[in-house]
Structures are given as C-alpha cells and as structure tokens.
C-alpha cells in the first residue's frame, strides 16, 4: 500500500524548534518530488516547501524562508522538515505529499501532524 | 504569485442536486489545475488533475473542466458522502490553493 506517515509534531514555545518526519512506503520514494503543506485550524491549505527527487533542489514559501529547511534521506525513504524560530502563526497541521515532478498534482498525502506554537 | 479564487465559499445543497464550484486563477495556468476533497480531520483527497482528468477510483459523478484562468468542478448528483470542503490547486508556477468551498446539507 502506498503510504506517507508524518511524525514529530507537538507543542513548542515561540522561538523554539521542531523536526517533522514523513516516512514513505509502497512506492519508489527516490523517484518523487516531496512537499510539505500546512493547514492552520479552521483555515485552508498552504504550500510550505518542496524538494526534488534526489534532494539537490529545494524551494520555500516566503513565510518560512530562512526558518524552515526541507531535506530527505532516500536510503531511509524519509522526508524531513526542520522548523526553527517558530511563531504562533506556524501553528497548523503539517501534511507531507508527493508529486512525480514540478507540474503534477499531489496524489498521495500523509495523515498530518499537528504543530502548536504557544507559550 | 498566482492567486486562486473559489466561489462560492459555502454551498447548501440536497442529495441528488447538481453542484458546480468555480475556481479562477489570477493569470493563465493552462490546464495545470487539480481539485481535492477534504473531510474534517482528514487529509485532502485528489479528485481531478490536469483540469479534467479523473483520478483513479474517484466516482464518475465528479468532473472538471476549464483552461487558462477559469475552471469548474461539477458533481452531477450529490451523494451523502460528498458533503465536504473542496479545494482547487494550481501547479503551473509553484503551488497555490483556493480558499475552499464547503458543501453542506440544505
């Protein structure tokens, strides 16, 4: 079964850090671009970051640029999001999702992991 | 940045109704548009990609049309399982979502 499973969410104080993981199974992880998309409580979907299939290229939404870092370990079939200098407005459910390339829809999503930034 | 605007924001309908949701892009995105369904507490589910291609396993009552800047998602006969929030998503340049359309029971 094709599956993405996120982990690593939780409660963190403003200014703190957190690392999210997304474990992939059931498909050739190294062939796919991977993304993080977030959804604040009661709000819509917002793309956060992407990484290409071999990890050589990344991009970020302006709202997280310089604070978040996306990476992947193709040997471990795992995607990561290192989140630093967290703010209250980063509070959201974070989903990982895959695309086959840069012009593709998100066909598989994880179940999401909740990140709450609060003192 | 490409902005995506959906209408309406909320739609009240009955089982069996034909439902249409519109999505407009701030500039041409060719046919690089997808539609997702999301239920509370769940991840989005891909319904339509490349504006009009039905994702495998998705019921044929869902259809998509449009190109350039105007797109529609149509549910030909609304079923109880279809009450949810729907999002459009452009992937022509980076990735942007519409604000969502909640389909609720009339």
Nearest chain B alpha carbon to A43: B99
| CA atoms A97, A60, B2, B5: torsion sign | positive
Cis peptide before A14 (omega within 30 of 0): no
Interface of B with A in 7-36 (CB under 8 A): 32, 34, 36
Mean pLDDT of A93-101: 96
Considering only the C-alpha atoms of chain A, give the largest distance between any 2 of them, rounded to a whole number of Å: 40
Question: If we measure between CA atoms, which residue out of B70, B67, B102 comes closest to residue B84?
Answer: B102
Nearest chain A alpha carbon to B33: A105
Question: Which of B37, B43, B73 is the best residue to mutate to test the A interface, defined by the most A CB atoms within 10 Å of its own CB?
Answer: B43
CA dist A22 and A111 (Å) reads 10
Q: Is A94 on the interface with B (CB under 8 A)?
A: no
Question: Which of A92, A106, A110 is the best residue to mutate to test the B interface, defined by the most B CB atoms within 10 Å of its own CB?
Answer: A106
Within 8 A of A110 by CB-CB distance, chain B residues are: 43
- pLDDT, residue B103, reads 98
Taking only the tens place, the pLDDT of each residue in B48-57 is 999 999 999 9
- pLDDT, residue A3, reads 98
Taking only the tens place, the pLDDT of each residue in A68-96 is 999 999 999 999 999 999 999 999 999 99
HSE-CB of A30 using CA atoms within 13 angstroms:
5
Taking only the tens place, the pLDDT of each residue in A102-113 is 899 999 999 999
Nearest chain B alpha carbon to A104: B91
Q: Is B89 on the interface with A (CB under 8 A)?
A: yes
CA dist B91 and A40 (Å) reads 21
Within 8 A of A102 by CB-CB distance, chain B residues are: 91
CA dist A83 and A10 (Å) reads 12
- pLDDT, residue A10, reads 98
When the pLDDT of each residue in chain A is averaged and rounded to a whole number, the result is: 97
Which stretches in chain B have pLDDT values below 50? none
- Cβ density class A101-115: b for 16+ within 10 Å, e for less: ebebbbbbbbebbeb
Of B43, B46, B89, nearest to A112 by CB-CB distance is B43
């Amino acid at each position: 079964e094709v599956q993405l499973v996120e982990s690593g969410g939780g409660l963190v104080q403003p200014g703190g850090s957190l690392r999210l993981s997304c474990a992939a199974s059931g498909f050739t992880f190294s062939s796919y671009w991977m993304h993080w998309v977030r959804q604040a409580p009661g709000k819509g979907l917002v793309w956060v970051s992407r990484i290409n299939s071999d990890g050589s290229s990344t991009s970020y939404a302006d709202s997280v640029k310089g604070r978040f870092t996306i990476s992947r370990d193709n040997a471990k079939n795992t995607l990561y999001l290192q989140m630093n200098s967290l703010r209250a407005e980063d509070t959201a459910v974070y989903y990982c999702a895959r695309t086959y390339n840069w012009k593709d829809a998100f066909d598989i999503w994880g179940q999401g992991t909740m990140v709450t930034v609060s003192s | 940045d490409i902005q995506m605007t959906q209408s309406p924001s909320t739609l009240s309908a009955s089982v069996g109704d034909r439902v249409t949701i519109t999505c407009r892009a701030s500039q041409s995105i060719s046919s690089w548009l997808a539609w997702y369904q999301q239920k509370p507490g769940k991840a989005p589910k891909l319904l339509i990609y490349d504006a009009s291609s039905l994702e495998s396993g998705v019921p044929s009552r869902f259809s998509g049309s449009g190109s350039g800047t105007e797109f529609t998602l149509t549910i030909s006969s609304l079923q109880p399982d279809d009450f949810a929030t729907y999002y459009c998503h452009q992937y022509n340049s980076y990735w942007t979502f519409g604000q969502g359309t909640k389909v609720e029971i009339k």
